[in-house]
Amino acid sequence: MDVCAWIESLPNPDEWPDSTSPPHLELCTTTNKEGNPKSLLFRAERTAGSNTEALVTFSLCAPGFWPSPNTLWVSNPCPLLTNSMERTLLPLLLQLLEETIARAPDSHMPSPRVFLQPSVAAALLAQPYTTLSAFFNFAFACRLFWLCAFDAPADVGSLYFRTLASGLDVGSCKEAMRSFFLAVGADLELQFMRALAYALTKSLLLKDLGSSQPDKERGASSYSYIRATSGFLALKGYAPLLALRRATKQRACEGLLETGKSVLRYVLAHQQLEVIVQFEYSVKVRGDHAMFRLWVDNVRVDVTRLGFGAAEELIGEKHFPSRISVMIGPEVSSGGSVVGLSLSKSTANPERKVENKRTVKGSFGKSKIPTVNAMASTSTRERLRSWNVEQYAEGSTVVFDAALCDNTSGSEVASLKQGVVSGSGEPKSSFRRRYSGTHRAFNKMGGVILTGNECGEGVSWRLLKEVVGSVMKWKLGAKVWVSYFPNDCNTSYFETRYVEWFEEVSLHVIDEESTLVSTKT
């Protein structure tokens, strides 16, 4: 579905065909019981302007479907500039993005009119044409999903899901999406990714129902990118829950929509994992070497529900982060510049003794005076923190590993093969109603935030002095596990899934003290 190439092939304004037969692109087609065609078409109609400044309006039509109307969507007028196709695509692309963001699930943000800012247009026009065209096709596929799934007749939606639902390819326009996100800011980025996650979830649901999709193919629906400035480094990652691979094995009868648990599984499927990892770093020259020091600013992991108000009684039933592993280090090509690596100690997780006393009073017969007194006391040890954070090295790569543990047994939740239950089959109190209480492991929204002081005192790479002033390539990755365990409802279902991202970034190794001196002078 290369819509961009079709727009590029439109005739010149002075060669435009008669209005009764406008140019069109057939996106998909089928036939009814009588053998008559039913199609989904993308049309271009000349609306105004001269041959040198022509305006074109695009529309999506569904001829042959009933009930009408035939036209499902109409664009704003766009200039048709045959010698500058990027400026022809830009107004239509911005409209597609704006309308997609406006459909984000549970969005409380105002209408995104900031697309009028010149910085957004400049960021998109700075992309190579091949990259921009791939991003245009991707934005068109996103908008087409929301149109066919919510605003079109049921027959049109059925045709879309049979023929076009697999057209959302996140990896085809990764760099263009990154430039777009940097231009619009974090708020609209979040809305766009949630709207996209809802569409990807529906596509993955259909694949799960139609065939057993290998877990290795699910990662194609996740997305990540790096943002780097002087002294600051951030990795952002997004993944619909169904794009995560399973870490726990399931029997064949434990499908996503198993009878009797379909509502719960449906709610659990409509979630998105959102991860932000932020670092600060500095470079200082000391004698014959340079110290590249890095420390964690914060790590934020959230599981967001993708819904429109349905099944509110199950809003508390959601996956929760159970392990977070972040890796950072120089690329292999830059590894020869590393002399040594220094780590800080792993974060301690001390225990405390908890004593409980219970008194029982009773009497015999009709006497109101207690004649029996009994007292029992128990003591248990529990860990002060639910998250145990460690550091370790693999070559020149540093790994920050945070694991959620049961604060009584110490078992890591992500490594469990079955649900954390007591001998009677009931969930342990440490994970029942996990979003309330003073010592809970998550915030009330179901996410977790790890600050820098929880991840150790920072790490340092001793580098050769010759690399100061040059550019070094670094690799940054994150692997996140999420688990489900019943919170309020009565079910034995339990699972753990995971996703991993790896990115590369080039950082300038600049001496911090020499930069301060040059700034003052």
Provide the domain limits for residue 451.
Answer: 224-347+377-521
Question: pLDDT category, 234, cuts 50, 70, 90?
Answer: very high
Between 80-89, 221-230, 324-333, 356-365, the lowest mean confidence (pLDDT) is in 356-365
Residues contacting residue 159 through CB under 8 Å, at least 6 positions apart: 28, 30, 38, 40, 148
Average pLDDT score over residue span 67-82: 82
Instruction: Say if CB 215 and CB 172 are below 8 A apart.
Output: no
pLDDT by residue (tens digit) across 107-150? Answer: 555 555 555 567 888 888 888 888 999 999 999 999 999 998 88
Which helix (H) or strand (E) segment is 129 a member of? helix 129-146
Which tokens is 110 given? 């105002």
Residue 169 placed within a domain? no
Between 186-190, 376-380, 408-412, 431-435, the lowest mean confidence (pLDDT) is in 376-380
For residue 370, the model assigns a pLDDT of 58
374: pLDDT strictly greater than 70 = no
Distance CA 104, CA 189 (A): 11
The residue assigned the tokens 């039509």 is 61
Residue 277 placed within a domain? yes
* Residue 33 three-state SS: coil
* Residue 382 three-state SS: strand
Which tokens is 486 given? 């019943």
Residue 39 placed within a domain? no
Percent of the chain's residues with pLDDT above 70? 75
For residue 252, the model assigns a pLDDT of 40
Residue 25 placed within a domain? no
Average pLDDT across the chain, whole number: 80
For the chain, what is the domain count? 1
3-state helix, strand, coil in the chain (%, to 5): 30, 35, 35
For residue 311, the model assigns a pLDDT of 46
The residue assigned the tokens 């649900």 is 419
Residue 407 placed within a domain? yes
Residue 46 placed within a domain? no
Question: pLDDT category, 235, cuts 50, 70, 90?
Answer: very high
Average pLDDT score over residue span 438-467: 85
Residue 70 placed within a domain? no
- pTM of the predicted model as reported, rounded to 2 decimal places: 0.85
223: pLDDT strictly greater than 90 = yes
Which tokens is 323 given? 């392990």
Distance CA 419, CA 407 (A): 15
Residue 66 placed within a domain? no
Residues contacting residue 29 through CB under 8 Å, at least 6 positions apart: 37, 38, 39, 40
Query: Can the peptide bond before residue 350 be classed as cis, meaning omega within 30 degrees of 0?
Result: no
